């Protein structure tokens, strides 16, 4: 384990105390806009100075979604839905139905009955649901069967009236005393909707960290269709220190709570990954701070900054990158006071999308649609990640779930596929590696049924691995007996065909890892009798040699038979023909 800095230790001690009862961004904005005079959608457009996005924003390439992309449309965004690329959304939740605790009915449903969002989205094949919010007085409704039934009946009626597809329940700030009542309510609500509207969807927004132990996650997942982790506000407006709003990892700095741990927690509680989504922020927080360093003490409550503004401001003040959390931030000085803004952009959201994909989750959620303004990069990112047009970039970096600077967790299990467009070969080079007695298995293809490249454990660096199929799949599993700092690696692809036939002055070496740990070496197109093999250790010493006269076109390396220890080696093959020779080398791992 890597040591935790002093800030991390202090954070672990105070975090549960200060976070309990803190309003989320959803509650803050709901209350903020709820105090304003209510407007029509056109009125909100005028308030927001909304200018419709040019049609060029919407991409022309036809791609189909492969995952859930669930976005909330707050009523205060007016008709911004006309700018959404509906081909990249599977679900839109209209925000919101505000529960009246005195009756179980509603205090307001804003423009739900008239908004053109509903037919527009439905015509595009997007599911539309009504988001239901309650931030206080939960027991008055959940503990009262009459009001609970009134709420269910009201929701069914309103959703059917607009030919909608379901509801999204966002009850925040509940106490542990409501655990059983909330579970019963979701069961009743789901039964009512599934009966009244066949194929309807009941989803629940669940906290990133269930401090009050309110959510009986396994039971909720049994009756509801989808649980969406609110993967934001790890640092919230009233946080005592600046920091990431939505940390992918915590590294050795930010304490124990991050998106990875939140996902692991719900999976460990028995929520199937296909019923779990990861909600992510299109906003950040700007705090007045003691100085410009990460985790500086805040001065007052931070202000929410929408993605479109944060990216623009970062361009002015200088975007910085926090390696521990894999998130960006910027700082600036005004009126003798430092400010820091922590937010998410396309780079950090890509890492979060990769996290959801690694965990095989149903998809992702967005708070909130329209917060990207007229910018297109987040739509492009959704297309590049969650559609049939998705492809990995031709080069990139990856690490274990602990991120570049921290340890991964116990009881992890995930897969990731690297599949760049038009790639003929993918190389993955490890710069560091230590996984205790856990295991990383790598395959030459798009899934774990592909040929095995190798299976690795301990601290022996696998070196460079090569997938000749043009795609590589990694599968990792950790036990519960301890972790380590994991690994960092970079991949590159080649879009040039590797060549099925060799010229007289070239030779190809193809590795195939066998389940028993042996490695089969093949030399396509070469005369086996002309092949010389030498195996080097990493110090450059020859540990095994075999010369020509092979009756079969391959060589099988068996570590035990050769009498060498497990580890990384370099295989060098030389073909000699007509007085000329050609050599090819590859790293391999013998175990």
pLDDT tens digits, 448-470: 999 998 899 998 888 889 999 99
In a domain, 463, yes or no: yes
Average pLDDT value over all residues in the chain: 88
Q: What is the pLDDT of residues 220-260, one digit of tens each?
A: 999 999 999 999 999 999 999 999 999 999 877 888 889 99
In a domain, 210, yes or no: yes
Q: What is the pLDDT of residues 180-215, one digit of tens each?
A: 999 999 999 999 999 999 999 999 999 999 988 999
Domain CATH code at residue 40: 3.20.20.80
Q: Are residue 201 and residue 75 in the same domain, yes or no?
A: yes
Q: Are residue 131 and residue 276 in the same domain, yes or no?
A: yes
Q: Are residue 489 and residue 570 in the same domain, yes or no?
A: no
Q: Are residue 400 and residue 364 in the same domain, yes or no?
A: no
Question: What's the whole-number mean pLDDT along residues 34-55?
Answer: 87
Residue 10 reports pLDDT greater than 60: no
Long-range contacts formed by 452-460: CB under 8 A, 24+ apart = 452/512, 452/513, 452/514, 452/515, 453/511, 453/513, 454/513, 454/588, 454/589, 454/591, 455/513, 455/591, 456/589, 456/591, 458/434, 459/433, 459/434, 459/435, 459/484, 460/433, 460/566, 460/567, 460/568, 460/589
- Domain of 152 in residue numbering reads as 6-50+69-280+345-369
In a domain, 318, yes or no: no
Local structure of residue 489 (DSSP, 8 states): E
Q: Give the domain-ending residue among 354, 369, 384.
A: 369
- Best CA proximity match to 264, nearest among 399, 474, 362, 410: 410
Choose between 496 and 558: higher pLDDT: 558
In a domain, 82, yes or no: yes
Under a CB-based contact definition with an 8 Å cutoff, are residues 56 and 81 in contact?
Answer: no
In a domain, 194, yes or no: yes
- Is 352 strand, coil or helix? helix
Q: Give the domain-ending residue among 494, 511, 533.
A: 494
Tokens matching residue 530: 């002309």
Q: Are residue 462 and residue 360 in the same domain, yes or no?
A: no
Q: Give the domain-ending residue among 369, 384, 418.
A: 369
Question: How far apart (Å, rounded) are the C-alpha atoms in residues 110 and 564?
Answer: 73
In a domain, 293, yes or no: no
pLDDT at 13: 35
Q: Using CB atoms within 10 Å of the CB of residue 20, give its burial: 0 to 12 exposed, 13 to 18 middle, 19+ buried.
A: exposed
Q: Are residue 270 and residue 406 in the same domain, yes or no?
A: no
In a domain, 340, yes or no: no
In a domain, 514, yes or no: no
Residue 262 reports pLDDT greater than 80: yes
Q: What is the pLDDT of residues 297-319, one digit of tens each?
A: 999 999 999 999 999 999 999 99
Q: Could you tell me how many helices (H) and strands (E) the chain has, helices first?
A: 13, 29
Domain CATH code at residue 434: 2.60.120.290
Domain CATH code at residue 563: 2.60.40.1220
Q: Are residue 581 and residue 435 in the same domain, yes or no?
A: no
Q: Are residue 207 and residue 112 in the same domain, yes or no?
A: yes
477-490 burial by CB neighbour count: b if 16+ within 10 A, else e?
Answer: ebeeeebbbbbbbe
Question: pLDDT category, 555, cuts 50, 70, 90?
Answer: confident
Under a CB-based contact definition with an 8 Å cutoff, are residues 482 and 463 in contact?
Answer: no
Q: Are residue 483 and residue 534 in the same domain, yes or no?
A: no
Q: What is the pLDDT of residues 497-518, one digit of tens each?
A: 644 333 334 566 777 777 777 8
Question: What's the whole-number mean pLDDT along residues 167-186?
Answer: 97
Question: pLDDT category, 567, cuts 50, 70, 90?
Answer: confident
Choose between 175 and 13: higher pLDDT: 175
Q: Are residue 209 and residue 250 in the same domain, yes or no?
A: yes
Q: Are residue 532 and residue 419 in the same domain, yes or no?
A: no
Instruction: Name which of 112-116, 168-172, 290-294, 454-458 the model is least confident about.
Output: 454-458
Instruction: Name which of 25-34, 147-156, 555-564 the model is least confident about.
Output: 555-564
Question: pLDDT category, 540, cuts 50, 70, 90?
Answer: low
- For the chain, how many structural domains are there in total? 3
Q: Are residue 362 and residue 400 in the same domain, yes or no?
A: no
Helices (H), 40-114: 41-48
Q: What is the pLDDT of residues 379-406, one digit of tens each?
A: 999 999 999 988 888 888 889 988 888 8
């Amino acid at each position: 384990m890597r040591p935790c800095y002093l800030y991390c230790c202090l954070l672990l001690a105070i975090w549960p105390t200060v976070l309990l009862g803190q309003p989320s961004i959803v509650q803050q904005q709901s209350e903020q806009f709820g105090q304003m005079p209510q407007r029509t959608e056109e009125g909100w457009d005028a308030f927001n100075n909304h200018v419709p996005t040019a049609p060029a924003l919407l991409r022309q390439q036809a791609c189909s979604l492969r995952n859930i992309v669930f976005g909330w449309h707050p009523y205060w965004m007016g008709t911004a839905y006309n700018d959404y690329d509906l081909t990249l959304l599977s679900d839109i939740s209209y925000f919101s139905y505000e529960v009246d605790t005195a009756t179980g009915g509603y205090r307001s449903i804003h423009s739900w009955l008239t908004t053109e969002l509903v037919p527009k989205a439905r015509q595009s094949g997007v599911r539309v649901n009504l988001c239901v919010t309650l931030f206080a007085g939960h027991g008055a409704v959940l503990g009262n069967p009459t009001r609970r039934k009134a709420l269910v009946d009201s929701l069914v009626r309103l959703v059917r009236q607009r030919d909608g597809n379901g509801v999204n329940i966002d009850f925040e700030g509940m106490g542990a005393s409501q655990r059983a009542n909330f579970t019963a309510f979701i069961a009743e609500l789901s039964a009512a909707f599934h009966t009244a509207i066949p194929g309807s969807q009941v989803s629940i927004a669940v906290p990133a960290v269930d401090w009050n132990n309110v959510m009986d996650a396994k039971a909720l997942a049994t009756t509801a269709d989808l649980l969406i982790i609110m993967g934001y506000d790890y640092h919230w407006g009233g946080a005592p220190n600046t920091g990431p709003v939505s940390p992918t990892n915590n590294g050795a700095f930010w304490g124990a709570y991050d998106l990875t741990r939140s996902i692991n927690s719900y999976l460990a509680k028995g929520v199937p990954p296909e019923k779990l989504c990861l909600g992510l922020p299109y906003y950040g927080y700007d705090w007045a701070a003691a100085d410009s360093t990460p985790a500086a003490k805040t001065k007052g409550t931070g202000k929410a900054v929408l993605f479109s503004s944060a990216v623009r401001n970062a361009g002015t003040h200088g975007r910085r990158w926090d390696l521990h959390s894999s998130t960006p931030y910027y700082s600036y000085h005004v009126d003798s006071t430092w400010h820091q803004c922590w937010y998410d952009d396309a780079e950090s959201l890509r890492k979060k999308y990769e996290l959801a994909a690694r965990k095989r989750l149903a998809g992702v959620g967005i708070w909130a649609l329209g917060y990207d303004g007229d910018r297109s990069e987040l739509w492009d990112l959704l297309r590049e990640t969650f559609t049939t047009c998705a492809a990995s970039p031709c080069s990139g970096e990856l690490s274990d779930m602990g991120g570049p600077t921290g340890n991964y967790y116990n009881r992890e299990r995930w897969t990731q596929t690297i599949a760049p467009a038009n790639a003929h070969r993918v190389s993955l080079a490890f710069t560091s590696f230590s996984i205790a007695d856990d295991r990383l298995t790598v395959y030459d293809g798009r899934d774990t049924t592909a040929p095995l490249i190798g299976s690795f454990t301990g601290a022996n660096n696998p070196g460079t691995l090569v997938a000749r199929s043009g795609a590589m799949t990694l599968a990792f599993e950790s036990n519960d007996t301890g972790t380590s700092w994991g690994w960092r690696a970079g991949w590159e692809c080649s879009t040039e065909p590797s060549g099925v036939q060799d010229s007289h002055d070239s030779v190809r070496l193809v590795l195939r890892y066998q389940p028993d740990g042996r490695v089969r070496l093949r030399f396509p197109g070469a005369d086996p009798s002309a092949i010389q093999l030498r195996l080097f250790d990493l110090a450059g010493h020859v540990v095994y040699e075999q010369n020509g006269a092979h009756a079969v076109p391959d060589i099988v390396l068996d570590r035990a038979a050769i009498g060498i220890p497990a580890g990384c080696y370099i295989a060098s093959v030389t073909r000699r023909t007509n007085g000329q020779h050609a050599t090819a080398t590859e790293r391999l791992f013998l175990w």
